[in-house]
Amino acid sequence: MFKSLIDAAQNSTFKSPFTSVNCQAAPPTSAPSSSAVVTPTLRDVAPRQLTPNHNIAAAAVAEGDSCEFGSNHYFLLCGLGGIISCGSTHTMVVPLDLVKCRLQVDPAKYKSVFTGFRISLAEEGVRGLAKGWAPTFIGYSMQGLCKFGLYEVFKKVYGDAIGEENAFLYRTGLYLAASASAEFFADIALAPMEAAKVKIQTTPGFAKTLREALPKMTAQEGVAAFYKGLVPLWMRQIPYTMMKFACFERTLELLYKYVVPKPRADCTKGEQLVVTFAAGYIAGVFCAIVSHPADTVVSKLNQAKGASALDVAKQLGWSGLWGGLVPRIVMIGTLTAAQWFIYDAVKVFLRMPRPPPPEMPESLKKKLGVTGEQ
């Protein structure tokens, strides 16, 4: 009994608020006799266009997919993928992040990456390299939820708003707008934990754990202590994320078009994940360069009590803003590649729909007189 009810619910046309159906008119037929009334189904109705260049098609779940593309279920799973990819990867590179932050706030003591590791190990031991792991895991898990989940939401919302043809023609702008919007909210979720993490890592003797740091920060500066780095965090993360998503999307498109010898649909899941990792690493290098000055300000700001972002930038100077760039390129390049790899692997594992690379709509091909593949 229960199994039949579950099957009926799963096969229901109205199981998702994003499910749409063909609203096409049936071809005219002769009136049925009173003895036999036949109700046409959606499959019996011939496909038609209600208006020129506008097809209304049923948004059914493809065979083998666990959810429908663009549904609430799909967006939630994207958010879950973001939690797993961002939370795990940022936590794995905490030792490198710790040394990078110390290079930024005290370059006189920590002159290089190797010197930073050597001094940190000598002063605090191996366990000291894990300082700040808890706020890193919590903060970047929350950020990943908003970043990846909301990116997919905004990409669909903005794409629907400008129409299919413009969404293809201006897809780079679409990626930039969707990622910037998502990161705006993601940073609000990240800011408190990022402030605690930097405080733990760069202020000697302040706190060893998150539980110890939170009440101390609240007592010293109030709730404002957790959000005073929000604006420079936006300055760092929004350009980073815009580059991360737009560069990844376009690099992935170019790799499949010019490098990979066969269409993505013909590639195995493993081959697709390798291409994803490569595109992610390329995007990560650009991300690190674009966002590094703001990252330096964030690190120094959370160490300097009462200072503003502008004060810190003036104090550091142009050359000081680029301190720790090399370890950050290594860290962010690897991090971004790993995040995209894990995020895509989660999609594969959860059997989520993974749309092919962008293709010019048929209506636009007709307008432009395009006959070959683009």
pLDDT digits (tens, 9 = 90+) for 204-259: 888 888 999 999 999 988 888 899 889 888 988 898 899 899 999 999 999 998 99
Higher pLDDT, 337 or 370: 337
Q: What is the pLDDT of residue 54?
A: 41
In CATH terms, the fold of domain 67-227 is Mitochondrial carrier fold (1.50.40)
pLDDT digits (tens, 9 = 90+) for 318-340: 778 887 788 888 878 888 899 99
Residue 43: count other Cβ atoms within 10 Å of its Cβ.
7
303 within 8 A of 202, measured Cβ to Cβ = yes
Q: What is the pLDDT of residue 304?
A: 63
Higher pLDDT, 123 or 107: 123
Q: What is the pLDDT of residue 301?
A: 72
Residue 161: count other Cβ atoms within 10 Å of its Cβ.
10
Domain limits, the chain = 67-227, 231-351
Residue 137 clears pLDDT 90, i.e. is over it: yes
- The CA distances from residue 158 to 82, 176, 181, in Å, are 20, 11, 11
> What tokens does 172 get?
């780079």
Burial pattern 242-255, b for ≥16 Cβ within 10 A else e, equals bbbbbbbbbbbbeb
Residue 173 clears pLDDT 90, i.e. is over it: yes
pLDDT, mean of residues 176-183: 97
Q: What is the pLDDT of residue 305?
A: 64
Residue 9 clears pLDDT 50, i.e. is over it: no
Residue 18's contacts (CB-CB under 8 Å, 6 or more residues apart) are 59, 68, 70, 71, 72
Residue 264 clears pLDDT 70, i.e. is over it: yes
pLDDT digits (tens, 9 = 90+) for 35-76: 444 444 444 444 444 334 444 333 445 567 889 988 999 999
Q: What is the pLDDT of residue 144?
A: 96
Residue 302 clears pLDDT 60, i.e. is over it: yes
288 within 8 A of 328, measured Cβ to Cβ = yes
Q: Model-level pTM?
A: 0.71
